[in-house]
């Protein structure tokens, strides 16, 4: 009843906009996505780490967003000698969970994977921007149309992303659009992608960010503000 009285409705992704359009008509519904502070892109770049760092900044969900696939793929590559154990460092920043630590221990990766707990947002941004690869552990639950604001922070960090597990969704689409990384559903695909990133690092000391800056900047908060301004102008007529 509240939404029925609105002159305009906005939501953050197209699938959710479609649901609103079914209830309230297409004419009043717009999609204005989350974005990032453009100043985080224009600031000084962090020097990347000397180690092959894979970083995740965010939380976990039992049965949904778990590190298990990441740990299994890492274990396979380390056991095969495809990655140098002394050079690989996986960093989790966010609420430290005992069940996550149990998975790390069970995988035999205690010396490689570390939970650092919660950190200030400024530090999370710095750790993202210095990382060789940014990890997106996708939920195994069918959450159509959902995308974490963490994805947009990663876009601003301008470091290659690796999305693992889950189902084909909007994250996959946006990675293709921005060329900011790769999405892998299977362990085989994940192992191949991670191996390719590591091989580039081993050859040059850094994994190159190949994202399309023009596409990335479409998700800046400045662009969000422009879209809201246009919507307010239309709604006030």
Write down the pLDDT at residue 24: 85
Vertex 79: Cα angle to 88 and 204 (nearest 5): 40
Q: Which tens digit of pLDDT belongs to each residue from 91-114?
A: 999 999 999 999 999 999 999 999
Alpha-carbon distances of 81 from 75, 76, 84, 112, 132, rounded to whole Å: 10, 9, 7, 14, 19
Q: Which tens digit of pLDDT belongs to each residue from 1-47?
A: 888 888 889 988 888 888 888 888 878 898 998 899 888 765 556 78
> Mean pLDDT, 10 residues at a time, over the chain (237 residues)?
86 84 85 87 75 96 91 96 97 97 97 97 93 92 73 94 88 94 95 97 95 93 94 83
Q: Which residue has the tokens 């699938």?
A: 15
Vertex 121: Cα angle to 118 and 126 (nearest 5): 100
């Amino acid at each position: 009843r509240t939404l029925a009285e609105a002159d305009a409705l906005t939501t953050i992704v197209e699938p959710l906009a479609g649901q609103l359009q079914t209830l309230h008509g297409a004419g009043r519904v717009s999609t204005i996505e989350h974005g990032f502070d453009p100043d985080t892109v224009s600031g000084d770049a962090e020097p990347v780490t000397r180690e092959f760092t894979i970083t995740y900044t965010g939380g976990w969900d039992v049965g949904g967003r778990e590190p298990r696939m990441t740990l299994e793929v890492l274990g396979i590559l380390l056991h095969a000698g495809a990655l140098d154990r002394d050079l690989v460092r996986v960093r989790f920043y966010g609420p430290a969970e005992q069940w996550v630590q149990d998975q790390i221990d069970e995988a035999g990766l205690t010396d490689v994977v570390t939970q650092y707990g919660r950190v200030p947002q400024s530090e999370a941004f710095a750790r993202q921007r210095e990382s060789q690869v940014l990890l997106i552990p996708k939920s195994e639950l069918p959450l159509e149309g959902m995308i974490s604001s963490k994805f947009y922070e990663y876009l601003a960090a301008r470091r290659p992303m690796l999305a693992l597990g889950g189902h084909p969704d909007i994250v996959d689409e946006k990675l293709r659009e921005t060329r900011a990384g790769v999405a892998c559903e299977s362990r085989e695909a994940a192992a191949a992608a991670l191996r390719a990133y590591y091989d580039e690092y081993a050859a040059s000391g850094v994994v190159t960010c190949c994202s399309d800056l023009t596409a990335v900047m479409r998700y800046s908060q400045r662009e969000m503000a422009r879209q809201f301004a246009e919507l307010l102008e239309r709604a006030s007529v």
